[in-house]
Structures are given as C-alpha cells and as structure tokens.
Amino acid sequence: MSVKTRIMPTLLYRDLGLVKGKGFDSWRRFGSVMQAVKVYNMREVDELIFVDISATRQGREPDYEIVDEIADECFMPLTVGGGIQSVEHVRNLLMVGADKTAINSAIVENPQLITDVARRFGSQCMVASIDFRRHEDGTYEVFTESGSKPTGLDPVEWAKEVEQREAGEILLTSIERDGTMQGYDIELIRRVSDAVSIPVIASGGCGEYEHMAQALSEGHASAIAAGAIYHYTERTPREAKLYLQEHGFNVRL
C-alpha cells in the first residue's frame, strides 16, 4: 500500500511580529489566521503549513507566542517557517507545538544547519524550503529572503544537496507563479522529484484541482501545498481530495 498523498493548505503571513497590539486592523488580521486554522482543523486537512514571510527580511526570529496560539488550535501536523536561523529557533518552535520546521534562507547561508537540525530532532522536523525563479532563457535559480535575493544555485543541485545533508522533505515553491493560480511549474517539480528520494511538496501556482493532479502525475510530487485557491475561490481541500480520488490518487478521506 502506497503512502497517501497529502494535501496541505499554506497560510502565508506578512508582518505578523508587528501585528499584536498595533491597532484594530492588525488584531483582526491575526484573528483571521486563527479562524483559518480552526476551519482547516474542522475540515480535517492532512497538514498545515504556516509561513511568516517577512520575518527573515526584517531580521526577526519566529514569533513563538503566535505559533503557540496557533498550535493550541491545530490538532493536525503543523509545519512552521519564516525567520528560522538556528537549532535554537527550531527547538523553541517545537517547544510551543510545531511538528516540523521549514527553513529557507538560513540553510543556503549555512548548509550545515540542515544536518544539525535533522540529527538533533529527526529529519522529519527538517523541511528544506526552496524558492526558485525561472529565467527567460529557461534556466532556474534558487532565491532566498522571500524571493528577493539571488543565490546562483541551481534548484535541482541544491535539492540533491539538502537530501544528502538529511533534510526530511522539500517544499518547492515557484516565486513567480505563487498566488497567480495559473498552475504549478511542472517541469521543475518533475526534475527535482526525479533527482531526490525524499518527498517533494509542490507549491506555487495552484488554481484548479487539475493543477494538483498534474503536479502529482506529471510532476511526480509527493504532496500538494496550496494557498490562494482556498482563500480566493470556493474550492476546499476536501473537494480537492475527492477530485484526486476520482482520478486514481490515494488520499485520506
């Protein structure tokens, strides 16, 4: 029996660290995060990915207090990303209830961090988050700091390295497709999935259930992350799974 394909909603948040106590609007925004977490919990999604996308650029640590509050309502596996720089940050996140941590910029700066986190907490805690852009000439490049900083790294080669350094899975996000709902970058997802044996989570661009099926069948991804499709359309993770089941994929219902 093969492992079930996981369908994970992604919650991306900006400026979370500045949110609390800074006016009504900010509080409401945090309230909407909690609301989303509760709804996903009720709808029995497989896992939740929560990323504070401005933490690294602002030089902030993860906001442990907020993760604590989210984890208190999250009775499913929770992956947290954004601003993680060290083993200590990972430990703090696990202490407040995260199950896995996604690290992006810091592992490019210091690849040894992958091994340090994996050896200390188990590789399942170490999700290597890889953001990439496709250049006009068709080549791909890894970017860090929320897509703002080019690294010169090739995503396929970098994926192989994070696997060799004992990352547990790869969250692979197309920067230019993210939020567009135009479909995943199937070509790169396939090249990365075929190059490594750890699970690859396809991310960035999902707007239709069909896009998910493509990422799985043509892209060879192991799991599907999506955000905008749930936030801006009537589509739900449950319907996604019904669709995938109809199309022959093994999902949890």
Partner 1 sequence: MSEVLIVDYGMCNLDSIGRAVEECGGRPIISDNPKDLTSATHIILPGVGAFPDGMKNINELGFKKALDQQVLNRGIPFLGICLGMQLMARKGHEGGEMDGLGWIDGEVRRLQPKGEDSRIPHIAWNEVYPQQESPLFEQIEPGKDFYFVHSYVIECDDESQVLATTPYAGGFTSAVCKGNIFGVQFHPEKSQKAGFQLIRNFLSL
Q: Which residues bind partner 1 (CB under 8 A)?
A: 1-4, 6, 41, 44, 46, 68, 71-72, 75-77, 94-97, 99, 122-124, 168, 252
Q: How far is the CB of 45 from partner 1 (least distance, A)?
A: 9
Q: Kindly tell me which of 122 and 150 has the beta carbon lying closer to partner 1.
A: 122
Q: How far is the CB of 194 from partner 1 (least distance, A)?
A: 16
Q: Kindly tell me which of 34 and 154 has the beta carbon lying closer to partner 1.
A: 34
Q: How far is the CB of 159 from partner 1 (least distance, A)?
A: 17
Q: Kindly tell me which of 198 and 229 has the beta carbon lying closer to partner 1.
A: 198
Q: How far is the CB of 44 from partner 1 (least distance, A)?
A: 5
Q: How far is the CB of 2 from partner 1 (least distance, A)?
A: 5
DSSP secondary structure, the chain, as one string: -PPPPEEEEEEEESSGGGTTTS-HHHHHHHHHHHHHHHHHHHTT-S-EEEEETTTTTTTPPP-HHHHHHHHHT--S-EEEESS--SHHHHHHHHHTT-SEEEE-HHHHH-THHHHHHHHHH-GGGEEEEEEEEE-TTS-EEEEETTTTEE----HHHHHHHHHHTT-SEEEEEETTTTTT-S---HHHHHHHHHH-SS-EEEES---SHHHHHHHHHTT--SEEEESHHHHHSS--HHHHHHHHHHTT-----
Q: Kindly tell me which of 2 and 112 has the beta carbon lying closer to partner 1.
A: 2
Q: Kindly tell me which of 153 and 216 has the beta carbon lying closer to partner 1.
A: 216
